[in-house]
Amino acid sequence: MESLNREPDLRVRIGPLVLPNPVGVASGTFGYGQEYQDLVDIDALGALYTKAVSIDPKSGNRPPRLVETPSGLINSIGLANPGLPAFLDEKIPYLQSLGCPVVVNVVGETESEYTTIVEAIEKRIGVPREGMKGPVDGYELNLSCPNVEKGGMAFGTEPELVERITRKVRKITRRALVVKLSPNVTDIAQIALAAEAGKADAVSCINTVVGMAIDVKTCKPLIARGIGGLSGPAIRPIGVACVWKVARAVRIPVIGLGGIGCANDALEYLLAGASAIQVGTAIFSNPRAPLEILEGVKTWMRERGVEKLKDIPSLFRFPS
């Protein structure tokens, strides 16, 4: 291929939402944006996937709730967040000021809590207007968190529940709707198909992998809760394989995440069939990682003469 002289087309369509580029920041690693506003140009991101929002405030799990492992990080934060009323009153005004698309991560302990949260946000921000960016441009249903006793991954392992919750939320909003999938299932493609059947606009995969680390001196787990969610480079091969499986099963876009720390990592996901990606754990050590990854993807496309981001999966060559 000849090198590309002009800027490649990086736009990604997720239902009614068009992302300016494919590189977003993963929920739970970037707060609601304010925490990083002095460290990175947030408006240059493809999307900000916010920290989870639950109905009631959550202080999260007791510490210790973070531990480093070889090529990874186990966390058991427990979806700590200020709750729905505080999100509406304190976070919405800030999100309105951002230039990048904002996708709110929603979590519930019961099926009805997902619809309650989305209904409350929709009521506060109103009906989306054609071509107008709002404080919220979409929702990511967290049906896959392994660090809570109720809800989370318990919903995301049952196709019938995934389809039912997705369908209920779809009736409430015209904004982009993404379902976040767990790798801790027998067949992730079946869960993705259930989300598609429920009228999701996209799926994101993967959430963290269940993991444990033990202190051999005290003979106790290094995470107070015992198990937690493993993220970081250690899970990237799992994430890439899941994206490949899901992208072959569904017709809606797949957003890839898990262990992305550089442009080559992101390109693995894009070649496997992802339409967009999210950067998570890498942000903790390098807040500029998402924008560096974006530049790397653009350079790779230019060097190979790839005009449109959506053409990248066609370059993948699976051995026959």
Condensed to tens digits (0 to 9), the pLDDT of residues 20-46 reads: 999 999 999 999 999 999 999 999 999
| Residues 208-249 pLDDT 10s | 999 999 999 999 999 999 999 999 999 999 999 999 999 999
At 301 the pLDDT is 97
- Does residue 132 carry a pLDDT above 70? no
Could you give the domains of the chain? 12-62+80-211+229-315 (3.20.20.70)
At 156 the pLDDT is 74
At 59 the pLDDT is 94
Label residue 293 by pLDDT band (50, 70, 90): very high
| Residues 152-178 pLDDT 10s | 556 778 899 999 999 999 999 999 999
Given phi > 0 = left and psi -120 to 50 = alpha, else beta, which region is 237? alpha
| Binding residue ranges | 27, 51-52, 75-79, 105, 142, 180, 206-208, 232, 258-259, 280-281
- Does residue 61 carry a pLDDT above 60? yes
The candidate with the shortest Cα–Cα distance to 11, out of 23, 22, 3, is 22
The candidate with the shortest Cα–Cα distance to 259, out of 226, 223, 232, is 232
Label residue 131 by pLDDT band (50, 70, 90): low
At 149 the pLDDT is 52
At 145 the pLDDT is 67
> What is the rounded average pLDDT for all residues in the chain?
94
How buried is 59 (Cβ within 10 angstroms: 0-12 exposed, 13-18 middle, 19+ buried)?
exposed
pTM: 0.95
Label residue 2 by pLDDT band (50, 70, 90): low
| Binding residue ranges for FMN | 27, 51-52, 105, 142, 180, 206, 232, 258-259, 280-281
| Binding residue ranges for substrate | 51, 75-79, 142, 207-208
| Residues 243-268 pLDDT 10s | 999 999 999 999 999 999 999 999 99
**How far apart, in whole angstroms, are the C-alpha atoms of residue 286 and residue 142?**
25
- Does residue 95 carry a pLDDT above 80? yes
Provide the token pair at 300.
């790779």
**How far apart, in whole angstroms, are the C-alpha atoms of residue 281 and residue 26?**
8
Percent of the chain past pLDDT 70, that is, above it, reads 95
Residues with a catalytic annotation lie at: 145
Q: In whole angstroms, how far apart are CA 12 and each of 97, 121, 145, 174?
A: 22, 24, 26, 18
Label residue 320 by pLDDT band (50, 70, 90): low
